[in-house]
Amino acid sequence: VHIRQRLSRAVELNKFTLAYQPIYDVCENRIRGAEALLRWHDEELGQVAPSEFVPVAEETGQIVNIGKWVLKQALKQVSQWQEKLDHTFTISINISPIQLHAGFSNDLSQMLKKYGVSAANIALELTESCNVLNNQDLRYWLEDIAKLGVKLYLDDFGTGYSSLSVLHNLPFHVVKLDKSFTGTDSESNRTIIAATLALAKALNMAVIAEGVETENQYTSLQSQGYRYLQGYYLSRPLRQECFSALLSPGA
Ligand code: G
Ligand code: G
Ligand code: NA
Ligand code: MN
């Protein structure tokens, strides 16, 4: 109840920020993108993790308003970086399926124009651990978004339900292998890591492995053919200024 109350004014009081966690291409040995991650500092509660407040905001519907702020903020930021980004560099933005509706792609298209951001530089991350992904309309909404040239990432792959039917039915371009599989070295996790890459390749999708925390994990994933990696070993989520500095080394 407390989080809910504090959340209700957080957008207008400007209490949110976005952090950017780099995603590396280990073949080309460079940053290929970043995930925008929401950060909330509340005077009373202190720093509250999205894993705590996003579920609350989804339940109350506050995520719609918060999600609008996130999208706008991320696009404004990308517009400032736009000249430094080539067309393969992608900033991915988490959205809750609750935010989607028939007019979403149209709104997004208007915002891209307004901020002068290329759709090619934007991806939306949706998590499959949400039964909304079975909604029939969702397919059309996602197809409309994909038609803009915005990419779609299936987040936390392997932890939710109906993973395989989601891959088959929805127009995702990229799967993000959940950090629970990269974090622990076990026989079954190695099997899942290999199978996910094979499956994604067969479906013509790319894979990003999340939660890469150690050199061992990095080396192991790379040798298994994983090209795109994200995690604390490579970089923590960075404040906007710090990420900006990475984009223009030496500047
Ligand atoms: O950064 P952290 O590990 O606390 O993120 C936890 C969860 O919150 C992740 O599942 C992430 O996808 C989600 N999350 C982070 N930022 C956003 C956001 O801007 N919108 C939504 N809907 N979820 C977010
Ligand atoms: O659900 P989602 O995959 O979007 O969650 C992303 C969350 O994971 C972010 O909150 C981010 O801070 C966190 N994260 C990023 N890299 C690592 C990592 O290497 N290890 C762990 N445990 N968490 C990470
Ligand atoms: Na995410
Ligand atoms: Mn994820």
DSSP assignment of 6-54 equals HHHTTTTTT-EEEEEEEEEETTTTEEEEEEEEEEEEETTTEEE-HHHHH
Distance CA(139)–CA(136), nearest Å, equals: 6
Are the beta carbons of 124 and 150 closer than 8 angstroms? yes
Q: Which CATH class is domain 2-44+60-245?
A: alpha beta
Instruction: Give yes or no for residue 58 CB within 6 A of ligand 2.
Output: no
Max Cα separation, the chain? 49
Distance CA(153)–CA(175), nearest Å, equals: 6
- Amino acid letter at 13? L
Distance CA(111)–CA(103), nearest Å, equals: 13
Q: Is the pLDDT of residue 162 over 80?
A: no
What is the ipTM score, two decimals? 0.96
Q: How far is the centre of ligand 4, averaged over its atoms, from the C-alpha of 39 (Å)? A: 15
At 34, the pLDDT band (50, 70, 90 cuts) reads very high
Atom of ligand 2 nearest to the CA of 155: 3
Distance CA(217)–CA(143), nearest Å, equals: 34
At 49, the pLDDT band (50, 70, 90 cuts) reads very high
Q: Is the pLDDT of residue 251 over 60?
A: no
Whose tokens are 């959940």? That residue is: 178
Q: How far is the centre of ligand 4, averaged over its atoms, from the C-alpha of 73 (Å)? A: 20
3-state helix, strand, coil in the chain (%, to 5): 50, 20, 30
Write out the DSSP string of 124-164: EEEESSSGGGG-HHHHHHHHHHHHTT-EEEEEEETSSS-HH
Are the beta carbons of 109 and 148 closer than 8 angstroms? yes
Mean of pLDDT values over 185-207: 94
Instruction: Give yes or no for residue 155 CB within 6 A of ligand 2.
Output: yes
Q: Which of 15, 39, 51, 72 to mutate to test the pocket of ligand 1 (most atoms within 8 A of CB)?
A: 51
List ligand 1's pocket residues with C-beta within 6 A: 37-38, 49-51, 54, 63, 67, 70, 94-96, 127, 155
pLDDT at 129: 58
Task: State the Cα angle at 123 between 120 and 127, rounded to 5°.
Answer: 160
Nearest CA to ligand 1 atom 1: 37
At 168, the pLDDT band (50, 70, 90 cuts) reads confident
pLDDT per residue over 216-248, tens digit each?
999 999 999 999 999 999 999 999 999 999 997
Tell me the domain boundaries of the chain. Answer: 2-44+60-245
